[in-house]
Structure 1
Amino acid sequence: MQPTWLLALSWASLAVGVVSFAIVLADTYLRGHRQPVKVMEIVWLVTVLYVGPAAVRLYWNWGRPQALEPRRRDDKPRRPHRGVILTQVSRCGAHCALGFIVAEVALYALRFDPARNGLWIAYVGDYLAAVTIAVLFRFFEGPARRVAQIWRALTAVVRAELLTITVFESALFAWLTLAHHMVFPEPPLRPDSPTFWFAGQIGLIAGFVTAWPAACWQVGRGLRVGPR
């Protein structure tokens, strides 16, 4: 069994994420600050869930619709550079976070045991789930729901998001490997433990920070995932 202090810390960290989630949820749906691109509402809710109060501050400064489009003197809207990069990282991070949750829960339901089957299976599942969710986000934000739109969504993800997702996932997997083998080796980390999700939070935050330079590079090349 995990030490009492570690379980308490894990529960506290998860609770902070839930409270942060509730703050952004209330601001979006009760106070009416809806995003022009609806999938960004999911993105911000997922981001604050694993980053916590720091992401709430980022949302307040750069994520709310009116914060992302300050007015120039000629009264034409302009999205700030940091807001564009933050959108890139947050959106790709949301894909990775949702992929992590979906894949890990599915593998646990299938009685996957990383101690016996190998962590690489979970990592493949997490990565494929993240890319699939990215494609679905692209598909459902498009104007049409046709089969051809799936190919366009996949192409857009490969062109504008795959690099950031890959860097994000690499940092997440590196941390999870350390967590499983060195930081929290006994008992083995499994999704039925709050420590597993606490370790996941840390890994996702590491991915968020690590993916920032990749997002800067993509934005510099004119590749962006945020709303235009």
Structure 2
Amino acid sequence: MPPTWLLVLSWAALAAGFVSFAIVVADTYLRGHRQPVRVMEIVWPVTVLYIGPAAVRLYWNWGRPEVFARRRHDGQVRRPRRGLVVTRVSRCGAHCALGFVIAEVALYALRPDPAHSTLWVDYAGDYLAAVAIAVLFRYADAPGRSVTKIWQALSTVVRIELVTITAFEVALFAWLTLAHHAVLSEPPLRADSPVFWFMGQLGLIAGFVAAWPTASWQLGRRARPAGQRGDRVRRW
């Protein structure tokens, strides 16, 4: 059994995430700060759920629509570069966090002996689930309903998000491997323990930090002239 101090710390970190989640949900739905892109109403609560109070500050500074958008003299909406990077990383991080939770719970439920897990199977499931959720979000974001939308959503994820998702997942998997083999090799980490989810939180935070340079580089690489940026902001 993990030491008592670690169990207490794990529960405290999880509780901080849920309180942060409640703050953002209340601000969105009770105070009326709705997002122009509806999937961001999933992205921000998920982001604060695994990062905690620090992500609430990010949301307050860059996530609320009225403080994110700044109007230029010609009346067009322009979003600061830092805000675009925060949005990109948060969105990719939400894909990875949801993929991690869904895949780990499913694998734990389906595995005959949860005590004997194979990390590479878990990691493959986490990564594939993250990419699938990214495609689903892009599909839901686009207008209309058609078969071609699936290909368009997949193409958009590959062009815009896949590199950032991969950087995020590599950092997450590196931390989880360290946690499994060095930090808490005995008893093994399992999805029915708060310590497992606390370690997952730390890994997701590491992924957020690792994905930031990649998202910033991609954003700079794909930047258009100033007059053409306004129509791209919504898609990010």
Q: TM-score surpassing 0.5?
A: yes
1:199 lines up with 2:199 in the alignment: yes
Correspondence for 1:227: 234
Q: Shift in Å at residue 117 of structure 1?
A: 4.1
Aligned partners of 1:103, 1:112: CA distance in 2, in Å? Answer: 15
Aligned partners of 1:27, 1:158: CA distance in 2, in Å? Answer: 32
The 8 Å contact of residues 93 and 165 in structure 1, kept in 2 or not, is answered as: yes
Q: Pairwise CA RMSD of aligned residues? A: 1.6
The 8 Å contact of residues 108 and 114 in structure 2, kept in 1 or not, is answered as: no
Q: Shift in Å at residue 114 of structure 1?
A: 7.0
Amino acid at match of 2:96: C
Correspondence for 2:63: 63
1:112-146 Cα deviation digits (max 9, x unpaired): 65763420000000000000000000001110121
Bigger mean CA offset, 84-93 vs 214-223:
214-223
Q: Structure 1 residues 113 and 79 mapped into 2: Cα distance closer, same or farther (>3 Å)? A: farther
Aligned partners of 2:176, 2:45: CA distance in 1, in Å? Answer: 23
Alignment of 1:164-183 (within 5 A): 164-183=164-183
Q: Shift in Å at residue 209 of structure 1?
A: 0.3
Q: Give the TM-score, by structure 2 length.
A: 0.93
Q: Give the TM-score, by structure 1 length.
A: 0.96
Aligned partners of 2:129, 2:163: CA distance in 1, in Å? Answer: 15
The 8 Å contact of residues 114 and 122 in structure 1, kept in 2 or not, is answered as: no
The 8 Å contact of residues 87 and 226 in structure 1, kept in 2 or not, is answered as: no
Correspondence for 1:98: 98
Aligned partners of 1:64, 1:147: CA distance in 2, in Å? Answer: 33
Aligned partners of 1:221, 1:112: CA distance in 2, in Å? Answer: 46
1:147-175 Cα deviation digits (max 9, x unpaired): 11000000000000000000000000000
Secondary structure of the structure 1 residue equivalent to 2:77: coil
Correspondence for 2:33: 33
The 8 Å contact of residues 164 and 215 in structure 2, kept in 1 or not, is answered as: yes
1:3-38 Cα deviation digits (max 9, x unpaired): 111000000000000000000000000000000000
Bigger mean CA offset, 114-123 vs 56-65:
114-123
Correspondence for 1:81: 81
Aligned partners of 1:226, 1:181: CA distance in 2, in Å? Answer: 42
Q: Structure 1 residues 114 and 159 mapped into 2: Cα distance closer, same or farther (>3 Å)? A: farther
Correspondence for 1:158: 158
1:48-102 Cα deviation digits (max 9, x unpaired): 0000011000000000001110223444321011010111100000000000000
**How many equivalent residue pairs?**
228
Correspondence for 1:51: 51
Correspondence for 2:16: 16
Amino acid at match of 2:154: L
1:131 lines up with 2:138 in the alignment: no
For structure 2, which runs of at least 5 residues remain unmatched after alignment? 224-228
Correspondence for 1:142: 142
Aligned partners of 2:204, 2:112: CA distance in 1, in Å? Answer: 21
Aligned partners of 1:62, 1:128: CA distance in 2, in Å? Answer: 29
1:162-203 Cα deviation digits (max 9, x unpaired): 000000000000000000000111111011000000000000
Amino acid at match of 1:66: E
